[in-house]
Amino acid sequence: MTVETLTSYDQALTRYEPVLGMETHVELGTASKMFCGCPTTFGAPPNTQVCPVCLGLPGSLPVANAMAIESTIRIGLALNCSIASWCRFARKNYFYPDMPKNYQISQYDEPLCSDGYLDVEVGGETIRIEIERVHLEEDTGKSTHMGGAGRIQGADYSLVDYNRAGIPLVEIVTKPITGTGALVPEVARAYATELREVMRSLGVSDVRMEEGSMRCDVNLSLMPRGSSTWGTRTETKNVNSLRSVERAVRSEVERQAGVLDAGGRIVQETRHFHEETGTTTPGRSKEEAQDYRYFPEPDLLPIAPDPAWIEELRATLPELPSTRRRRLQAEWSLSDLDMAAMHNIGAIPLVEQTVAAGAPAADARKWWMGELARRANESGVALSDLAITPGQVARVGALVAEGALNDKLARQVIEGVLAGEGDPDAVVAARGLKIVSDEGALSAIVDQVIAENADAAEKVRNGKVAAAGALVGAVMKASRGQADAGRARALILEKLGAS
């Protein structure tokens, strides 16, 4: 094994122009599999969701899932694709133990959807990613290699779970993405993020990257600056999160630049991304192009969607994420940059739901982008994974607006909700967090503070109003933060005759 020298990312970009391509597989959330009636529930015990068809038993035949075809067409429409008026499934032939028939029913030169695009935003700029094709196929089973490094080479034995075999899978392939320069990792991530949101808005998949219901393969090559000939590309698999998409691209840029700088050549191969190291290692070589011997699937009829039906699907598409963002941005009167910041950390739907729960947009945004973003960041979780609901955030905001809480107390309420102490009102009650608005109680505290801070009080009496700050601080401290600071200040000045 040769030791590869990396070239630093910035250095690499001065010499090479990256060319990116994304192949994304999305498991459709249909109730049954692509070609049989088996359920598609994730996490069932191995080989319990199988039948003669998805096990590829001799004599079994596929019947196409109409809902999967409809979902694929809706994806194609959302990605601005042309929908084929007539197309066929094709068999992709290769031997692998987790593929029951040793061919995959897929689509080859007649994809259901082609020639579309998806606009993504990177650094406040819109970049148009061209979509080559969207096609429908069946998933394979899942192999688990026991012993060795968990890879098939060197394993003691392998286990195959066919529950996944035959789950409908949509493959979305971009055209080569050029001209991104140093932004290439961010572009890759932004594309994957946007695509995931489109899938969510369509309701066609749960797009959970960690469960494999959305899988990104990153194709990358480097071309020396000034050249017009593309370099050899690698295909990186096992990229299981949006963050990994970005890291995998960056790592491949550095690795390939290192190889090229050292006078080496890039091997056309599949590579595996490793979460722990953020690097890729070689997998199957594709130097000898595998011949899949595609031919039209004779067991299935061609798909010929009725144009009127396609138009009906187009007319009933939900509002797509980019349109929605533009609408919300206008409604909330936010700048592009603010909106981009919210988009980047996935705050938009949370803010939207908080607004729906009654909070003013500015308040909702303030909490999610401020206190909550900070806490999510600290604990290393996604904003949406925090143990607080938009409804609860709206309630905290309402308590502040009513004057029952100040910002400091509100932060304590949020802390309580996150700690599982219940709803905001429950936390307020349990922790006794309430602004002291009772004049008598406040007056008594002020009197006590004046008595204990005779020097400061004297200064205020003598006209040094600025010295009142120390007294207000003391009142807040004595009231454990529950006093209304403005009211306390007014009282102090009044009592010291300085008002």
Partner 1 sequence: MTLIHKSAAELAALIASGEVSAVEVSRAHLDRIAEVDEQVGAFLHVAEDAALAQARAVDARRAAGEELGPLAGVPIAHKDVFATTDMPTTCGSKILEGWRPPYDATVTRRLREAGLVILGKTNMDEFAMGSSTENSAFGPSRNPWDLSRVPGGSSGGSSAAVAAFEAPLSTGTDTGGSIRQPAAVTGLVGMKPTYGGSSRYGVVAFASSLDTPGPFARNVLDAALLHAVFSGHDPRDSTSIDAPVPPVVEAARQASVEGLRVGVVNEFSGEGYQPGVLARFHEACALLEEFGAKVVEVSCPSFRYAMPAYYLIAPSECSSNLARFDAMRFGLRVGDDGTRSAEEVMALTRAAGFGPEVKRRIMIGTYALSSGYYDAYYGQAQKVRTLITRDFTAAFEQVDVLISPTTPTTAFPIGERADDPMAMYLADLCTIPANLAGNAAISVPCGLADEDGMPVGLQIMAPVLGDDRCYRVGAALEAAYRDRWGGSLLEKAPAF
Q: 282-301 mask for partner 1 (x: CB under 8 A)?
A: ---------x-xxx--xxxx
Residue at 443: amino acid letter: S
In the list 11, 32, 80, 158, the residue contacting partner 1 (rule: CB under 8 A) is 158
Binding segment (CB under 8 A) for partner 1, from list 50-58, 189-197, 257-265, 489-497: 50-58
In the list 61, 66, 304, 337, the residue contacting partner 1 (rule: CB under 8 A) is 61
Nearer to partner 1, 86 or 95 (CB): 95
Show contacts with partner 1 in window 101-120 (CB under 8 A): 101-103
Nearer to partner 1, 10 or 156 (CB): 156
Binding segment (CB under 8 A) for partner 1, from list 96-104, 217-225, 307-315, 327-335: 96-104
Among residues 418, 435, 436, the alpha carbon closest in space to that of 427 is found at 418
* Residue 45 binds partner 1 (CB under 8 A): no
Q: How many chain residues touch partner 1 (CB under 8 A)?
A: 30
In the list 78, 83, 113, 160, the residue contacting partner 1 (rule: CB under 8 A) is 160
Nearer to partner 1, 60 or 241 (CB): 60
Nearer to partner 1, 60 or 268 (CB): 60
Nearer to partner 1, 156 or 276 (CB): 156
Show contacts with partner 1 in window 385-444 (CB under 8 A): none
* Residue 151 binds partner 1 (CB under 8 A): no
Three-state DSSP state, 152: coil
In the list 8, 44, 52, 230, the residue contacting partner 1 (rule: CB under 8 A) is 52
Measure the N-to-C terminal CA separation of the chain; round to a whole number of Å.
81
Cα–Cα–Cα angle for 329, 332, 337, nearest 5°? Answer: 50
> Are 190 and 120 contacting, i.e. CB atoms less than 8 angstroms apart?
yes
> Are 409 and 482 contacting, i.e. CB atoms less than 8 angstroms apart?
yes
Three-state DSSP state, 29: coil
Phi, psi of 55 (to 5 degrees): -90, -5
| Number of alpha carbons in the 13 Å side-chain half-sphere of residue 94 | 9
Which positions ≥6 away from 251 have C-beta within 8 Å?
273, 278, 279, 280
In the sheet where 16-27 sits, what is the strand order?
82-83, 113-122, 125-138, 168-174, 16-27, 214-224, 234-239, 269-274, 279-285
Enumerate binding residues for partner 1 (CB under 8 A).
52, 55-64, 91, 93, 95, 97, 100-103, 152, 158, 160, 291, 293-295, 298-301
